[in-house]
Amino acid sequence: MRITGGQVFDLEQGFIPRDVCTDGSLISAASGGGTVLDASGCYVIPGLVDVHFHGAVGEDFSDATPEGLQKIADYELSQGVTYICPAGMTLPEDQLTAICKTTAAHRKHNSGGAEVVGAHLEGPFLCEAKKGAQNGAFLHDPDVPMLKRLQEAAEGCVKLVTVAPEQPGSTEFIQAAKELGVHVSVGHTVANYETAKAAFEAGADHATHLYNAMPPLAHRDPGVIGAAYEVPTVKPELICDGIHIHPSVVRLTFGLFGKERMIIVSDSLRATGMPDGEYPFGGQMIEVHGNRATILGHPETLAGSVTSLMGCLRQAIAFGIPAADAVRACTFNPAQSIGIEHRAGTLDVGKEASIVLLDQKDLSIRKIIFKGEAVTA
């Protein structure tokens, strides 16, 4: 296939006019077939990569059902999100084990939809004061043997774990996680600057939904945000749904950390793609009104988003983030953060041919190609 006439995403140059060729499932230097796809008036971008979301279309990753995970994967692919690393909640170990086993089984018997590249354990190693929508009854101090058991159940596909670094044993946990091939994210925390900085210097390289569920950046108490900024290996997540973060702060954070480090996530819930109403989430109930989801009876507590990552990409661009920077934050940077950048996140020769064509006028999806196969007309 040859894709011609579009503005193609480039990691260094932004958008450039060039052809993109595919041969089988890979991007190639020359077209492997006679098909020509006219991308005039389109941005040609890599398939998106979401490393922090919980579910969609009435299904939740934490339910650990094969059918639910398949429905989530199908929906995400329909939104141009081609690689997913869904997040589990703060739950008992037996349920976390079921989540990990379901993830491993899905990877073995993948029957379509976005590729489930692994799992993100957002809980249970968090702090009570900043648990947010997580269920406090199941919080647990950082526990290396538990992480080893969960990684074994997942057959090595736990990619990311969130930790509150002020909790006992966190430094040893961070170091052990690295040895298990798991990236560590700091989040749901009341850590001060010194504690957060020590966690990042110990090897944590990710910050879970920056600003949300952590102390604010203050001029005498910079906290997690200041510490993350000072360690260049750290990539911060940002929920760009228009609810969690003010547009000015989105612009400020991109300016502070730079396009090379920012990760946009959706943090989307099972209510994504569903009507307003009440939905279960991590052992609690949430209520959804428009694009705002909160804990039932606690309208001040945000519970995640009901916006897909593609919706968050559009929102970030509407907020004034340059389109190429927003695309990078939804593709290459998250892919790099979980170690799949060698095959996803850019349109370089040799990468998997997962490509989305977006109308330049309204950013609507014109075409999705997943590993060389057309998904939508």
pLDDT at residue 281, as a whole number: 83
pLDDT tens for each residue of the chain, 377 residues long: 999 999 999 999 999 999 999 999 999 998 877 799 999 999 999 999 999 999 999 999 999 999 999 999 999 999 999 999 999 999 999 999 999 999 999 999 878 999 999 999 999 999 999 998 888 999 999 999 999 999 999 999 999 999 999 999 999 999 999 999 999 999 999 999 999 999 999 999 999 999 999 999 999 999 999 999 999 999 999 999 999 999 999 999 999 999 999 999 999 999 999 999 999 887 788 899 998 999 899 988 888 899 999 999 999 999 999 999 999 999 999 999 999 999 999 999 999 999 999 999 999 999 999 999 999 64
pLDDT at 377: 47
Whether 106 contacts 134, CB under 8 Å = no
Residue 283 confidence (pLDDT): 76
The sign of the CA dihedral 167, 269, 376, 157 is positive
pLDDT score for 146: 98
Determine phi and psi for 150, rounding to 5 degrees. -70, -40
What one-character-per-residue DSSP string does 300-343 give? EEE--BS--HHHHHHHHHHTT--HHHHHHHHTHHHHHHTT-TTT
In the chain, the domains with their CATH numbers are: 1-46+345-377 (2.30.40.10), 48-344 (3.20.20.140)
Tokens coding 69: 């995970």
Kindly give, in sequence order, each residue whose CB lies less than 8 Å from that of residue 121, ignoring residues fewer than 6 positions away.
87, 88, 96, 147, 150, 158, 160, 161, 162
pTM of the model: 0.96
User: How far is the C-alpha of 191 from the C-alpha of 52, rounded, in Å?
Assistant: 21
Query: For position 134, what pLDDT does the model report?
Result: 87
- Residue 92 burial (CB count, 10 A): 14
Per the CB < 8 A criterion, the answer to whether 262 and 304 are in contact is: no
Question: What residues are labeled active site?
Answer: 267
